[in-house]
C-alpha cells in the first residue's frame, strides 16, 4: 500500500486532476445505489480544525467540498445494489445480508482502535485528510476481505474532504499545490473505531445522507442477531 508522503509527492510531480468521486457518470454506469462498509468521520466534532482547510480550498471552482454528514473513511466498497447482479461491481440485498452476517463473525474478535486524523493531502480526484492508525484499517480490510469474500482496497485509508470536479488530465494549478502544502502538517483530532457501518448511497443525488443498513460492532460476540437489511 502506498504511503501518504508518496501519494503527495506523486500529486505534486504529476499535477493532474480528474473528475473524482461518486458524481462521475463513468463510475456510476447507470446505477443509482452504492453500498459500502465505512467508518463515520464525525466531522462535526472537528469544525474548528477543518474550517481553515475548507477555506483554503473553497476559492477553486473545481473543488466540491463535502458536508459534514458525508465525511467518512471507506473501508470496503461493496458494489451497486441491484435485484440481479450481472458483474463484479453489483450486489444484491441477499448478498448484503450475507456480508453483514459474515462480518459480524469476522469482527467479533477485532479490537477497538483509535485513528488520528491529520494533514491535508490529495489524489487527482480528491483532497483528503490522512487516517493515521498504525495500519489498523488496513488490517480491518484484510479481515473483512477474507471473512466476507471481498476484494481488499489497494489505496491508503483516508477521510475525503472534497472532490475535484475537473475533466481528467486537467493540470492542477500551482495555487492549489501551495494551498494544500500549507496544511501538510495539521492535526485534526482522533476518532475511536468501535464499529463499522454498512451504508447505502443514492449516487444520483447531491451529497445525500447515507442510509445506514447495519452497524457491525468490533469485539462483540455474535449471538443470533437478526439482520437489519430488509428483504
Residues 6+ apart with CB under 8 A from 179: 56, 57, 60
Rounded distance, CA 115 to CA 137, Å? 9
Q: How many residues does the chain have?
A: 231
Q: Is the distance from CB of 39 to CB of 137 less than 8 angstroms? A: yes
Please tell me the predicted confidence (pLDDT) of residue 222. Answer: 62
Q: What is the mean pLDDT of residues 177-197?
A: 98
Residue 225 pLDDT greater than 60, yes or no: no
Q: What pLDDT score does 136 carry? A: 97
Per DSSP, the three-state class of 156 is: coil
Which pTM value belongs to this model?
A: 0.93
Q: Residue 222 and residue 106: Cα distance in Å, rounded?
A: 10
Structural domains in the chain, CATH included, are 4-217 (3.90.1140.10)
Mean pLDDT of the chain: 93
Instruction: Describe the crossing of helices 174-181 and 47-57 by its angle, rounded to 10 degrees.
Output: 160
DSSP state for residue 203 in the 8-state scheme:
T
pLDDT at position 31, please?
86
Q: What integer pLDDT is reported at residue 199 of this predicted model?
A: 98
Amino acid at each position: 500500500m502506498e504511503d501518504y508522503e508518496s501519494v503527495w509527492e506523486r500529486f505534486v510531480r504529476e499535477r493532474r486532476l480528474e473528475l473524482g468521486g461518486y458524481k462521475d457518470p463513468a463510475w456510476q454506469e447507470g446505477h443509482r445505489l452504492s453500498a459500502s462498509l465505512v467508518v463515520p468521520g464525525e466531522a462535526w466534532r472537528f469544525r474548528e480544525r477543518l474550517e481553515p482547510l475548507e477555506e483554503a480550498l473553497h476559492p477553486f471552482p473545481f473543488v466540491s467540498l463535502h458536508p459534514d454528514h458525508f465525511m467518512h473513511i471507506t473501508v470496503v466498497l461493496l458494489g451497486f445494489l441491484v435485484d440481479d447482479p450481472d458483474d463484479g461491481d453489483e450486489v444484491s440485498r441477499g448478498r448484503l445480508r450475507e456480508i453483514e452476517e459474515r462480518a459480524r463473525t469476522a469482527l467479533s474478535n477485532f479490537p477497538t482502535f483509535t485513528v488520528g486524523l491529520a494533514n491535508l493531502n490529495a489524489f487527482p480526484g480528491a483532497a483528503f485528510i490522512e487516517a493515521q492508525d498504525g495500519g489498523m484499517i488496513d488490517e480491518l480490510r484484510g479481515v473483512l476481505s477474507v471473512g466476507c469474500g471481498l476484494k481488499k482496497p489497494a489505496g491508503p485509508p483516508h477521510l475525503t474532504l472534497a472532490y475535484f470536479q475537473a475533466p481528467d488530465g486537467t493540470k492542477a494549478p500551482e495555487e492549489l499545490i501551495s494551498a494544500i502544502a500549507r496544511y501538510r502538517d495539521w492535526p485534526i483530532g482522533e476518532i475511536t473505531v468501535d464499529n463499522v457501518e454498512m451504508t447505502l448511497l443514492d449516487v444520483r443525488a447531491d451529497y445525500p445522507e447515507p442510509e445506514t443498513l447495519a452497524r457491525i460492532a468490533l469485539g462483540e460476540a455474535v449471538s443470533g442477531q437478526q439482520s437489519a437489511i430488509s428483504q
